[in-house]
Chains A and B, each alone.
Chain A
Amino acid sequence: MDVTSATPPTLAAGAGAGAGPNASRRPAPPAARATPAREHLIEGFLFLCGALSILTTLGILIVLGYETAGFFSEVSFGQFFGDTEWTPLFADKHFGIWALVSGTVLTSAIAITVALPFGLLSAIYLSELAPRQTRRVLKPLMELLAGVPTIVYGFFALSVVTPALQTVIPELAGFNALGAGIVMGVMIIPMISSLSEDALHAVPQSLREAAWGLGGSRLAGIFQVVLPAARSGVAAAITLALSRAIGETMIVAIAAGQQPRFTFDPRVPVETMTAYIVQISMGDVPAGTLEFRTVFAVGAALFLMTFAMNLFAQRLAKKYRRLG
C-alpha cells in the first residue's frame, strides 16, 4: 500500500491539465519546455558574450585614443617623433619616442636573431625528419618553453644569463639589452617552431615526392622545394614572434634596465616601451597629469606596432593556406 501511495499525485494532476485545451497536441516531453522566447533570450545572451570581444577592442581604441589625444594637446608631434631623448619625469622634459622604440627594436632584434635559427631548424626537424613518435613527444616539450611565465624568464635573464655573459664580455652592464634579448629569444622559439611547422606540414607530400623522384636528396627537397613552398607561412610565424617580442614586458623590465636612450649598443642599459609603462605604473604618478598620459601615448604606439604586424602576419598566413 505504500507503493500505491507513493504514486505522485502531481503527475496525475499534470496529465489532467495537459488534457485541457491542448489535448489534441502530442504531450511535450519534459525536455521540450523551452519556448521560442526562451530560445531567443539565450541566443541573445550568447551573442552578447561574443560582442564583448568587440567591446574590448573598442575599449582599447577609445582608452588609448582619448588619453593619447590629451597627451598630444600638450606635446607636439614634432616633440614626439622628432627627438631622441625621453625624459618626461625630469625638469627638462623631452618626449622623443625613439629613445624607447630603439630599446624595443634592439631587444626584439636580438630575440629574433636567437629564435629564428633555433625555431626554424626545430620546425624542419619536427616536420620533415623526425619519426612520428619522437614528434609527438617533442612538440609539447617545446611548448613548455612558451608556458614559463615571463617574470621567471626575467629573473633568469638578470640573475643567471647576464652574469654568465659578463664572464665573456666584461664591459657588459648589469642591466643590458643582450641578456634580456637572448632570454626573450628562448621564450619565442616555440612560437616560431610550432607555426613554421604547421606551414611546412601544409606543403603537399606530392611536391616532396616529385623532388625525390627527380633524384633530389632529402636536404635538397627541404631547401629547394618545401621551404620555398612554405615561405609565407614561415614569414607569418616570424612576424608574429617579433610582434610578441615587441609587446613582451617583464623580461625587459627586469633585465634590460630603465634608462631610455637612443642606442643600438646591446651592452648598456636601455628602456623599452613596455618597461617604461611598468616603471611609471610602479611609481605614483597622479592620474590625469601629462606624465600619466605619456604611458598611454607609449601604449598607443606599442599597440599600433603590434597590430600592424599581426595584420601583416594574418595576410601572409592566408596566402599559405591557399597554397596548402
Chain B
Amino acid sequence: MQTRERLFRILCVSCLALPLLMLAYLLGRLVVDAWPRLTMAFLTGFPSRRAEDAGILPGIVGSLYLILLTIALALPVGVGAALYLEEFGQRRRLAQLIEVNIANLAGVPSIIYGLLGLEVFVRFMGLGRSLIAGAATLALLVLPVIIMSTREALRTVPDSLREAAVGLGATRWQVVRRIVLPQAVPGIMTGSILAVSRAIGETAPLVVIGALTFITFLPDGPTAPFTALPIQIFNWVSRPQAAFAANAAAGILVLMVTLLALNAVAIYLRERMQRSHR
C-alpha cells in the first residue's frame, strides 16, 4: 500500500474516531459529575431553591406522561398515514403531495412546532399550558419519523403475500389488517421508539409551549400544567451556581440512561427484523 493512501486512511479513521472519543469523554465526565447527586432523594424529590435539596421527580413523571400521550396521539395517525400512502393512495396526486409535504415537515426546526402548538393548542383550542397541549405539539413533531419508518416497514412486506391474500378474496383492508400490518409490527415498533427518543429529549418546543420550570406537585390529568426532564435540566443549566450544574449533570444522566435503553431496544428490533427478512 502506498504511503499516501495509508496516511489518508489514518486521517479518515481519526475523523471518525475523534468525535466519538469526544462524546465518550464528555459522557464520562458527566457520570463523574452526576454520580454524587444521583441519590434516591434526588430521584424522588421536588424542585427547590437550594440545589442540594432539589429533586427531579416532577420532571420524570411529567416526561413519562408526556411520552405516553404523545405516542398515543402520534402512533395511530402516523401508521394510518403510512398505510394510506403505501397501500391505498400510491398513484394519486394527493398522495404525492402528502409525500413531498412530509419530507418538508421533517426539516422544519422543532422550535417552529412550538410556535404552532402555542397558537393552535394552547391559545386557539384553549388547552392552556397543559400536558395535552405539549403532547399534541410533540406528536406533530414526531409524526414524520413514525410515518417514514412505518413506510419502510410496509415496503419490506413482499407483494406476493398481498397478491395471495387478494387472490383468496380478501378486501384491501383485510389484506392490510391481517397480512401486511402483522408483518410490519417490528418496523413500526422501531419507528415508535425512535420517535419516543426524539420526543423525550426535545426541549425547545416545550419551552415555547410554556412548560413550567418550578412545580412542586405532580400533574393530575392531561390538562394539568407540567414540567419535563429536559425542561428541568435547562432550568438548572441556566443557573450560575455550580451546585445546580451538578443537578443538571445528574438530570442529564437520567435522561441519557433512558435514551440508551430505548435505543438498545430499537437496535435489537431492527436487527431481528433484518434477519427475519433474509
A49-B81, A158-B237, A281-B210 as given contacts; A57 in contact with B101, CB under 8 Å: yes
A47-B84, A145-B20, A243-B107 as given contacts; A282 in contact with B9, CB under 8 Å: no
Please indicate the chain B residues that have their CB under 8 angstroms from the CB of A48 in the complex. 80
Interface-facing stretch out of A7-15, A86-94, A207-215, A246-254: A246-254
Q: Is the CB of A248 within 8 A of B109?
A: yes
Give the contacting residue for A118; candidates B8, B18, B26, B104; CB below 8 A. Answer: B18
A56 at the interface (CB under 8 A from B): yes
Interface-facing stretch out of A71-79, A147-155, A198-206, A261-269: A147-155
Q: Is the CB of B255 within 8 A of A149?
A: yes
Please indicate the chain A residues that have their CB under 8 angstroms from the CB of B256 in the complex. 148, 152
B234 at the interface (CB under 8 A from A): yes
Interface string of B238-257 (1 = CB under 8 A from A): 10000001001100100110
Chain A, Cβ-Cβ closest to B107: A310
Which residues A154-199 have CB closer than 8 A to chain B? 154-156, 158-160, 186, 189, 193
A25 at the interface (CB under 8 A from B): no
Q: How many residue pairs, one in A and one in B, have C-beta atoms under 8 Å apart?
A: 230
Alpha-carbon gap, A290 to B259, bound state (A): 39
Please indicate the chain A residues that have their CB under 8 angstroms from the CB of B12 in the complex. 121-122, 124-125, 129
Chain A, Cβ-Cβ closest to B143: A53
B273 at the interface (CB under 8 A from A): no
Interface-facing stretch out of A16-24, A38-46, A95-103, A225-233: A38-46
Give the contacting residue for B112; candidates A34, A60, A118, A278; CB below 8 A. Answer: A60
Q: Is the CB of B112 within 8 A of A152?
A: no
B4 at the interface (CB under 8 A from A): yes
Q: Is the CB of B203 within 8 A of A150?
A: yes
Chain B, Cβ-Cβ closest to A161: B26
Give the contacting residue for B23; candidates A122, A145, A150; CB below 8 A. Answer: A145
Alpha-carbon gap, A54 to B103, bound state (A): 11
Interface string of B15-33 (1 = CB under 8 A from A): 1101110110010011000
Q: Is the CB of B9 within 8 A of A32?
A: no
Q: Is the CB of B107 within 8 A of A53?
A: no
Interface-facing stretch out of B50-58, B156-164, B169-177: B169-177
A59-B120, A121-B12, A254-B237 as given contacts; A217 in contact with B111, CB under 8 Å: no
A320 at the interface (CB under 8 A from B): no
Chain A, Cβ-Cβ closest to B249: A155
A30 to chain B: closest CB distance in Å? 11
A31 at the interface (CB under 8 A from B): yes
The B interface, classified by DSSP as helix, strand, loop or mixed, is helix
Q: Is the CB of A246 within 8 A of B143?
A: no
Which residues B160-191 have CB closer than 8 A to chain A? 169-174, 178
Q: Is the CB of A31 within 8 A of B178?
A: yes
A291 to chain B: closest CB distance in Å? 14
Alpha-carbon gap, A240 to B16, bound state (A): 20
Chain A, Cβ-Cβ closest to B200: A149
The A interface, classified by DSSP as helix, strand, loop or mixed, is helix
Query: For this complex, into which size category does the number of interface residues on chain A fall?
Result: 35 or more
A84 to chain B: closest CB distance in Å? 23
B220 at the interface (CB under 8 A from A): no
Please indicate the chain A residues that have their CB under 8 angstroms from the CB of B134 in the complex. none
A306 at the interface (CB under 8 A from B): yes
Give the contacting residue for B109; candidates A151, A247, A287; CB below 8 A. Answer: A247
Alpha-carbon gap, A156 to B252, bound state (A): 11
Instruction: A56-B116, A60-B115, A302-B111 given; name 9 further pairs at CB < 8 Å.
Output: A53-B105, A59-B116, A118-B15, A124-B12, A142-B16, A249-B110, A281-B208, A303-B108, A303-B112
Q: Which residues of B contact A (CB under 8 A)?
A: 2, 4-5, 8-9, 11-13, 15-16, 18-20, 22-23, 26, 29-30, 76-81, 83-85, 88-89, 95, 97-98, 101-105, 107-116, 119-120, 123, 140, 143-144, 147, 169-174, 178, 197, 200-204, 207-208, 210, 230, 233-234, 237-238, 245, 248-249, 252, 255-256, 259, 263, 267
Q: Which residues of A contact B (CB under 8 A)?
A: 31-32, 34, 38-39, 42-43, 45-54, 56-57, 59-60, 63-64, 67, 117-118, 121-122, 124-126, 129, 138, 140-142, 144-145, 147-152, 154-156, 158-160, 186, 189, 193, 217-219, 240, 243-244, 246-250, 253-254, 274, 277-278, 281-282, 287, 295-296, 299, 302-303, 306-307, 310-311, 314
What would be 21 A-B contacts, judged by CB atoms less than 8 Å apart?
Answer: A46-B88, A49-B81, A49-B84, A50-B95, A52-B81, A54-B101, A57-B101, A64-B112, A118-B15, A140-B267, A149-B202, A149-B255, A151-B233, A156-B30, A159-B245, A160-B29, A254-B237, A254-B238, A274-B109, A274-B204, A306-B108
